Amino acid sequence: MKLILLIIIVYLAYRAVKSWVMRNLQAPGQNDSRHPRIDDVMVQDPVCGIYFPRREGVELRHGGQTFVFCSTACRDRFLEKPKG
C-alpha cells in the first residue's frame, strides 16, 4: 500500500514540475492559446473593394498617401484613372 501511495505522489510531483517547466520555457512573444497574437489586419482595396490581409497587398505611395491594393492589376487601374 505504501508503494502505491509513493508512486502516486511521485507521479503528481512529476506532472506539476513538467507543467511548470513547459509554461516557463515558452519564449516571450510565442503564440499562447490564452493570449492569441493578431497575425495581420484586413484592409480594403480602394479599386475593387475586396478585403485582404495587408501583408499580402501591393503598397503604393501616391499624393502623400499610402494605398494598399490586392494586386498589381488593381494598382495599375488606380494609376490609370483620370484625375478629377
| Residue 67 is assigned to a structural domain of this protein | yes
The answer to whether residues 81 and 74 touch, using CB atoms and an 8 Å cutoff, is no
Quick one: pLDDT at residue 49?
A: 94
Residues 6+ apart with CB under 8 A from 71: 58
| Residue 12 is assigned to a structural domain of this protein | no
Quick one: pLDDT at residue 62?
A: 87
| Residue 56 is assigned to a structural domain of this protein | yes
66 is written with which cell numbers? 499610402
Number of domains in the chain: 1
Place of cell 492559446: 33
| Residue 74 is assigned to a structural domain of this protein | yes
Residue 21's pLDDT band (boundaries 50, 70, 90)? confident
Domain extent for 49:
41-84
Which residues are 32's β-sheet partners? 35
| Predicted TM-score (pTM) of this structure | 0.52
| Residue 28 is assigned to a structural domain of this protein | no
| Residue 33 is assigned to a structural domain of this protein | no
| CATH number of the domain that residue 47 is part of | 2.30.170
19 is written with which cell numbers? 507543467
The count of other CB atoms within 10 Å of the CB of residue 26 is 10
Q: What is the mean pLDDT of residues 3-21?
A: 91
User: 25-84 pLDDT, tens per residue?
Assistant: 765 555 556 666 667 899 999 999 999 999 999 999 988 999 999 999 999 999 998 764
| Residue 57 is assigned to a structural domain of this protein | yes
